[in-house]
Amino acid sequence: MGILNLSLVNPKEFPSKESDARAKSGKKVLDKAKIHENLNEAINSSNLVIGTSARSRSMPWPMMEINDLGKVINESLARAEKVSIVFGNEAIGLDNEDLGKCDFHLQIPTTEYSSLNLSHAVQIVAHEIHKESLSDPSIQAREVELATSMQKEKLMEHIELILELLDFYDHQNPKQVPARLTRLIKRMQLDKLEIGILRGILSKLEDRLNK
């Protein structure tokens, strides 16, 4: 399906004879796979991160329809942006913390079962991307490249620091505001210049608050 870059986060066993046997013609992808200790390390340089999930969450998150997936990803790739699609393991999928690091959540509609096998989900996603890549869309270049996952993470850390200085948190539910602000930042799809402007404003505010 044309997807050649595989990253594995803290795999239980790798390399694996069983994986090699199952991969067959896809073994060259396994041979070049990169190993990461955590998800942050794997997606730090990505401009767009899409997490797959079979469960609905208590806090709504920006969603992406499977029918839109191929178009969005191929447009990003045409702009030379880096895209990561995150799959959880077979047993439990992605937890809320990992899903919170993604810009969008992707749910593949099913009828009889609540979720798909991991291999089936990967194949469906790969097919949607490949199918759309066969078309020749007119891509409008962005004025500024989208911010990376790390840049958005650092922005959120800076916001949380300011909130602490302002004593803004609800001490009975301290995670609520950061979670909703993170969701807002993901939904806005900020570019690198916008991140820089916001960080500059926060730095000035931090200086004033520390005087």
Q: pLDDT for 149-180, tens place per residue? A: 999 999 999 999 999 999 888 778 878 888 88
In the predicted model, what is the mean pLDDT of the chain?
A: 86
pLDDT of the residue at 179: 87
pLDDT of the residue at 138: 62
pLDDT band, residue 114 (cuts 50/70/90): low
pLDDT band, residue 14 (cuts 50/70/90): confident
pLDDT band, residue 120 (cuts 50/70/90): confident
**What does the alpha-carbon distance between residue 45 and residue 199 come to, in Å, rounded to a whole number?**
18
pLDDT of the residue at 105: 92
Strands 63-64 and 83-86, bridge-based pairing: unpaired
What is the chain's length? Answer: 211
Chain region(s) in the chain for CATH 3.40.1280.10: 7-133
Asked if 123 contacts 164 with a C-beta cutoff of 8 angstroms, the reply is no
Chain region(s) in the chain for CATH 1.10.8: 149-209
- Name the CATH code of domain 149-209 (choices 3.90.380, 1.20.1070, 3.30.70, 1.10.8): 1.10.8
Q: At what angle do helices 149-165 and 192-209 cross, to 10 degrees?
A: 20
pLDDT of the residue at 86: 96
pLDDT band, residue 54 (cuts 50/70/90): low
pLDDT band, residue 59 (cuts 50/70/90): low
Percent pLDDT > 90 in the chain is 39
Asked if 89 contacts 118 with a C-beta cutoff of 8 angstroms, the reply is yes
- State yes or no: pLDDT of 57 exceeds 60: no
Asked if 54 contacts 90 with a C-beta cutoff of 8 angstroms, the reply is no
- Bridge partners, residue 52, by sequence: 106
Name the CATH superfamily, with its identifier, for domain 7-133.
SPOUT methyltransferase, trefoil knot domain (3.40.1280.10)
pLDDT of the residue at 24: 77
pLDDT band, residue 142 (cuts 50/70/90): confident
**What does the alpha-carbon distance between residue 161 and residue 158 come to, in Å, rounded to a whole number?**
5
